[in-house]
Structure 1
Amino acid sequence: MNMTVTRKPRKRLSVVLLTDERLVPAGELSDYSEKQRLLRKAEFDVKRAVETLGHQFIAVGLSNDLSTLRGAIDAHKPDIVFNLAEDFGGISHFDQHVVSFLELLRQPYTGCNPRGLTIARDKALTKKILAYDGLKVPEFAIFPMRRTTKRPSTLGFPLFVKSLTEEGSIGISGASVVYDDVKLMERVEYIHRTAGTPALAEQFIEGREIYVGVMGNERVTVLPPWEFFVENRREGAPLIATGRGKWDPSYQDQAGVMTGPAEINEKLATKLEKLSREIYRLLGLSGYARLDFRVTESEDAYLLEANPNPQIAADEDFASSAEHAGIAYPDLIDRIIRYGMIYNSGRVMF
């Protein structure tokens, strides 16, 4: 990955990297096993980019005690906290509370604001907000835990079943697409049992899976559309981004899982850019986010999920799309830092 900086920072900043205490970048990335490297590559890439930009870098590990974070802020008085925290005390949807804590301290940070994180975390709420404004989203139903699974008569098969709130393709496999009520009940029970969350069953949209990166606050930059492929998918198998497809390198090689620039016409590219800007605004997002679309043969674009603070390692989709647009990785990190420093946490975004 090209680490050449094309512009110099205005001043040397003090940057605190906030991450899980188990993922604090220590030593060299090559010191870790392959699995450990996969978990830590974003932390090491951000560290390298921040140092390349000439900033002071301090890493802080977060567990279940906010006093560690408060102590680091008091001690180092950072210009910005680069937020890579994805949970608090092992609870993923507590990530928004960590950001709320930073806002209470009046501490600038990178990434999305608490309100945007809260809205995007709830996939059903996201769809309701967008549907209210007339945007295309799959039809869906929510299946709470400890309730009888009863499909609404208006919701037809096939359906795609996933966690209402968990990210990273947790609980998603080939069995997530169901074609009858028996399989629906089985899959809902599986999500309840393994993810520990309500299940969401949504209309399965046949088509291409295209990701669009957006970054900024009130004024945003939309990155080139990035497409998900499975080259060795068996005939008739649904195109889905499974947990193995996202996190298992050996399976990725075997199945031919990859992403790359979406080859689309100018009309569709313009449509996705306009749609992405609107969705980013309607959901109150800030910092940076990845929007996941299904695009049908007739070029209707359905939002599947909004992912604020997506994976930001140098070889992940967001950074690859930025590089495709001519933004080198250190410059991307520099932009994310600048967005965090100018974000006004006292202003509600609409």
Structure 2
Amino acid sequence: MHIILLHNRDHELLQDDPGREAREDVVRVAAALSEALTRGDTVAEPLAVEGDRLDFVDTLRRRQPDLVVNLCESLAADSRGEMAVPCLLDALGMAYTGSSALSLGLALHKPKAKEVLSARGVSTPAFRVVERLEDALAVDLPWPLIVKPAREDASVGVTGDSVVYERAALVRACEAVLRNFHQPALVEQFIPGREIYVPLLGNQPRRALPLTEIHFGRTFEARPNIVSYSAKWEEGSDEYRDTPAGPCQVDAALEARCVQVALEAFAALDCQDYGRVDLRVSPEGVPYVIDINPNCDLHPSAGFARAAAAAGMDYPALAARLVEVASERAHGHPSHRRKGPGAPRRADSKDRNLLAAGG
């Protein structure tokens, strides 16, 4: 089997890139998955998308891989380019891992995602969108609030000053987003409580891997418990040190509520194959969706792989399972099954990508 690991390599493109560490991490993920998948008659090779160049389209057309593992999270250091990659793969008729362009675009456009969740009855914090600084003066949500870029992921743009308690601080936080990211600011009601992540794997059936919780340490005793960009990516910072992710200890009823909300959120955005839903659980035990990550971090040390390990799946097994899930959705049968004339096929599922003609 020939697999191409498509990933962005644009972390050095901009001199002042507020998401540089997150973009650089994708290169390491591609290398780790290549090592995990290359064995026996399977060859998995990384292919970088350099900046805004689309040379990779001709490369893919020439090499005709059996499957593309889509790790691209941006184009030209712009997260909004993430959804363009599955569009191009669909046009090429190639099978790929992960969610479609529609799902990736919705998940990244946080206000639209929240509108869909609300329409489907999935609990998510109340919100407003600030497109101009004067819009911040009209925000009428109960305090405290949290401010973040409307179209970024990986905690990009989230700092210790993102949680605000009064109008002047709200205006400053919105101004920082508008100035630094050139996009609207999403203002949400801040939900105090626990931060719990639900990793999801598969389509039919879709299962939740063991839940993960962020354990906030001493640094956060006198500040809001949030996972900022520093906490997620800057290894030398106090915030990084004091936000370890670990097993989530909850009673069966709360665990079931968290999993159900995550499954409903994933389905609402038509996500597929794998991903992670981030929740804030209020002191009353209500899970609120604060983010949906259909293209979540697959590094061996990241939360998704650790959750898989807790379920008895080591990293090579997880990598193989991701390939199998995508192959079954795209081709109607798992990758390890015989293909060609006379090969048995499973019935098409509702999750099958009909545009993927490869194989």
Q: TM-score, normalised by structure 2?
A: 0.85
Structure 2 residue aligned with 1:163, among 149, 170, 174? 149
Displacement of 1:254: 7.0
Alpha carbons of 1:114 and 1:90: their partners in 2 closer, same or farther (altered >3 Å)? same
Out of 44-53 and 95-104, give the one that drifted further. 44-53
Structure 2 residue aligned with 1:237, among 199, 223, 247? 223
2 CA distance for matches of 1:52 and 1:231? 41
CA offsets, 1:128-148, max 9 Å, x none? 112122221111100014654
* RCO higher in structure (CA 8 A, sep ≥6): 1
Whether the 8 Å contact between 2:210 and 2:247 is mirrored in structure 1 is yes
Structure 2 residue aligned with 1:121, among 98, 108, 112? 108
1:293-312, aligned counterparts within 5 Å?
293-312=279-298
1:172-187, aligned counterparts within 5 Å?
172-187=158-173
Which residue does 2:243 correspond to in 1? 257
Out of 118-127 and 141-150, give the one that drifted further. 141-150
Which residue does 1:273 correspond to in 2? 259
Alpha carbons of 1:341 and 1:35: their partners in 2 closer, same or farther (altered >3 Å)? closer
5+ long unaligned stretches in structure 1:
1-12, 24-33
1 CA distance for matches of 2:119 and 2:25? 39
Which residue does 1:19 correspond to in 2? 7
Whether the 8 Å contact between 1:53 and 1:334 is mirrored in structure 2 is no
Alpha carbons of 1:148 and 1:273: their partners in 2 closer, same or farther (altered >3 Å)? closer
5+ long unaligned stretches in structure 2:
12-20, 330-351
3-state DSSP class of the match of 1:142? strand
Which residue does 1:345 correspond to in 2? 353
Structure 2 residue aligned with 1:336, among 297, 300, 322? 322
1:47-58, aligned counterparts within 5 Å?
47-52=34-39, 54-58=41-45
Alpha carbons of 1:187 and 1:123: their partners in 2 closer, same or farther (altered >3 Å)? same
Out of 251-260 and 54-63, give the one that drifted further. 251-260
Displacement of 1:40: 3.4
Which residue does 2:98 correspond to in 1? 111
Which residue does 1:220 correspond to in 2? 206
Structure 2 residue aligned with 1:43, among 2, 10, 30? 30
Displacement of 1:319: 0.6
1 CA distance for matches of 2:321 and 2:6? 18
Moved runs in structure 1, 4+ residues, more than 6 A?
Answer: 34-37
Whether the 8 Å contact between 2:231 and 2:243 is mirrored in structure 1 is yes
Q: What is the CA RMSD across the aligned residues, in angstroms?
A: 2.1
Whether the 8 Å contact between 2:201 and 2:274 is mirrored in structure 1 is yes
State yes or no: 1:89 paired with 2:89: no
CA offsets, 1:69-109, max 9 Å, x none? 22222322100011111112222111111111101111001
Write the letter of the residue equivalent to 2:82: D
2 CA distance for matches of 1:144 and 1:289? 29
3-state DSSP class of the match of 1:57? strand
How many residues of Structure 1 are paired with residues of Structure 2 in the alignment?
323
State yes or no: 1:80 paired with 2:67: yes
Displacement of 1:150: 2.4
2 CA distance for matches of 1:69 and 1:254? 35
Alpha carbons of 1:164 and 1:332: their partners in 2 closer, same or farther (altered >3 Å)? same
3-state DSSP class of the match of 1:236? coil
1 CA distance for matches of 2:247 and 2:201? 18
Which residue does 1:4 correspond to in 2? none
1 CA distance for matches of 2:288 and 2:276? 14
CA offsets, 1:255-305, max 9 Å, x none? 422001101111111111222222111110012111000011221100001
Displacement of 1:37: 8.0
3-state DSSP class of the match of 1:346? coil
Displacement of 1:314: 0.5
**Identity between Structure 1 and Structure 2 (%):** 27
Which residue does 2:180 correspond to in 1? 194
Write the letter of the residue equivalent to 1:247: W
Write the letter of the residue equivalent to 1:200: L
Write the letter of the residue equivalent to 2:136: T
2 CA distance for matches of 1:301 and 1:166? 22
Write the letter of the residue equivalent to 2:7: T
Displacement of 1:346: 2.7
Write the letter of the residue equivalent to 2:208: V
Alpha carbons of 1:314 and 1:107: their partners in 2 closer, same or farther (altered >3 Å)? same
Q: TM-score, normalised by structure 1?
A: 0.87
Which residue does 2:138 correspond to in 1? 151
